[in-house]
Chain A
Amino acid sequence: MTQTFLHAALLCLSLSQAQQGQALENGAIRIQVFEVSDLPEEAVPVDSPLWRKASAHRLHLNRTPPLYEGDPVDDGACPEASVRVLRGPGNRGTLRIDWEDATDDTAPADTRYPDGGEDHIYKRHSGDFAAFPDACCIMVPAQRGRHASYPSLMMGEKRRPVQLLFWRAGHGFEKLNAHGRATVAKADEGPDPSGNGTGASLSGNAKRRADGWSVVMAVPSLEPETPLCFAIWDGNQEQRDGLKFFSLWYEVE
């Protein structure tokens, strides 16, 4: 009984502490990191008990304004979201992002026939090509570590490029680079100024829950005081590109 009470008290305490991160002088909010001495190189599974040891930090999200006539306007509603961070040897990091999303918008690229499609004209039929998948992204400066100033939230700048770790439901994970608006490109198609990880492969896993998503991504080189920011897309609202929920810069301790 006493043990149960203690457990409950500790849980409440950790949740309340995790709600508000520590604000820094530069305005960013510091996210606590749980250090794991034997953190695997691959992303930790989303259901791993390790995640219970990391504090859940609430993400304060904003909605981008409409791009064109007919795009949804900001009604003030943003999904509840949080992030947990694990770090291992060599500053290897793994993040888990949890967010609310009432609809499962998994939009795979194609549908295949059970027989493999050999007798069919088209081997792969288009999936629901009018749907947009749920997605999330972690943006990290190409140069890790302590920053005097952060890159522009609009996909970085020429002198401050960024790396984007991107997941879409039904499409998997990919690593992108950018140095400003409309410059996003797959990591294996252009220079990788960060030198953090070769190619576009990105280790991660995702799980659909009853009321939302949990997505885990491995972040190469998560040095202390590295800035991070986050974005979430709700496919049900036709969100993609610059139509999304986004956060300002955070910083890992």
Chain B
Amino acid sequence: MPEHQYAMVMDLNKCLGCHTCSLACKKQWTDGDGLDYMYWNNVETHPGTGYPRSWHSIGGGFDAQRNLRPSPLPKAEDYGETLEYDYAQRLFGGQKKPVMPHTLPSYMPNWDEDIGGWNPDNPYYFYLPRICNHCTHPACLAACPRKAIYKRQEDGIVLVDQERCRGYRHCVKACPYKKIYFDAVSGKSVKCIFCYPRLEKGTVNACAAQCPGRIRFVGLLDDPESPVHKLVRVHKVALGLLPERGTHPNVYYVPPFNPPKEGAAGRSILEDPRLPHEYLHYLFGARVIKVIQRLENELQKAQSGKPSEVLQLLIGRDDSIRYRLVPERVPQAASAKVARAHADSSAGGPALAIKGTQSRVDPDQTRERT
């Protein structure tokens, strides 16, 4: 087990669906060749198919006996094609034709944005931003026959060793969240790195820093002062996605409760909810109902003028409330040993060459064998 675990909480009651986080991540990490179709952070409408298409229903993760249950490999069309537009002819070519994509898409990320469901006569949907969950028991790590995926000992961030990976994509099939991607140009698997180079400098993840809705909370799960510890462990108002897949995700969500149905004003959230509990149960597991009850209690406390630490936390006005990065407690990679859950390589030094960033390799650093 790692010494510490970085975690993130996202309050789904505050997400605007603006996708600023997705673009922040894309400009930071995935604007290079081979990374065009990837959104390490994406935002999708639920109920909906998601990105890649139907990721939440095709499989992945572990079964009750802790056996890996990989899903079929999503096809390229399930991710959607990256469109290019012929701006040059319109802006500089003197032509008056409207700008068009180079191909007519049949599916894209967010193809079903804002469609949601009906319950009955009452539309409902919510936005679900997703990143790699940096799971405690990553299925991707378990699936890799080359031990190319590892979990950092100092902070639990899960990374792909670009030197060891040979692009077999067992990890892509194993991940129940489909948050690891294949870069066909480099021939390696890549994924969200939890912005570890930023965290090591005391700067929060790009997706969190850019979020205008202030929905994200970042900190160490085991740090009693961190907002994630308070929301997840103390107040217990945040849950991981698809808990039955057995990977123990470390990205948590405060479940959404939509405005009451037409004619239901004044009734409890749990009486005839606009957002069906069956769907929340499907995404977050059986505990979601208790969590919603707790949230409603806190809301009523605040509405009746009583103090509510939970609500003050969730409002999260300042960075100091939402983020608690403690680089002094999590030694930087340059001086820390990078441990691998299973190590058999005799090569010295980790190779954390991430495309688009400077290499973090310290040639004097060695791997710990476990």
Contacts and interface: CB of A to CB of B under 8 A. Distances in A.
Interface string B154-188: 00000000010011111001100000011111010
A68 B37 contact: no
A27 interface: no
B163 to A, nearest CB: 8
Interface stretch (B67-75, B204-212, B249-257, B260-268): B67-75
A197 interface: no
B74 A130 contact: yes
A120 B101 CA distance: 12
B170 A122 contact: no
Interface residues of B, number: 43
B145 interface: yes
B184 A129 contact: yes
B51 to A, nearest CB: 14
A125 B87 contact: no
A89 interface: no
A184 interface: yes
Given A69-B70, A182-B344, A126 B185 contact: yes
A122 B33 contact: yes
Nearest to B167: A240
B84 A130 contact: no
Given A68-B173, A123-B33, A109 B185 contact: yes
Given A69-B68, A129-B37, A182-B344, A241 B76 contact: no
A127 interface: yes
B82 interface: yes
A120 B84 contact: yes
A121 interface: yes
Interface in B258-302: none
B170 A130 contact: no
Nearest to B77: A130
A113 B168 CA distance: 27
B185 A182 contact: no
Specify which of A107, A119, A129, A183 lies most central, judged by the most chain B CB atoms within 10 Å of its CB: A129
Contacts of A124: 33-34, 185
A109 B34 contact: yes
A193 interface: no
B64 interface: no
Interface residues of A, number: 32
A238 interface: yes
Interface in B130-146: 143, 145-146
Contacts of B185: 109-110, 124, 126
A49 interface: no
Contacts of B145: 67, 181-182, 241-242
B68 A238 contact: no
Contacts of A190: 347
B73 A121 contact: no
A67 B34 contact: no
A129 B78 CA distance: 11
A124 B167 CA distance: 19
A28 B168 CA distance: 31
Contact of B70 (A70, A113, A189): A70
A182 B143 CA distance: 13
Nearest to B81: A125
Interface string A86-129: 00000000000000000000010110010000011111111111
Contact of A182 (B78, B146, B183): B146
B147 interface: yes
Interface of A: 67-70, 107, 109-110, 113, 119-131, 171, 181-184, 189-190, 238, 240-242
Given A109-B185, A129-B181, 6 more contacts: A68-B173, A109-B34, A121-B36, A126-B184, A171-B187, A182-B344
7 contacts: A68-B170, A69-B67, A110-B184, A121-B36, A123-B33, A125-B84, A130-B78
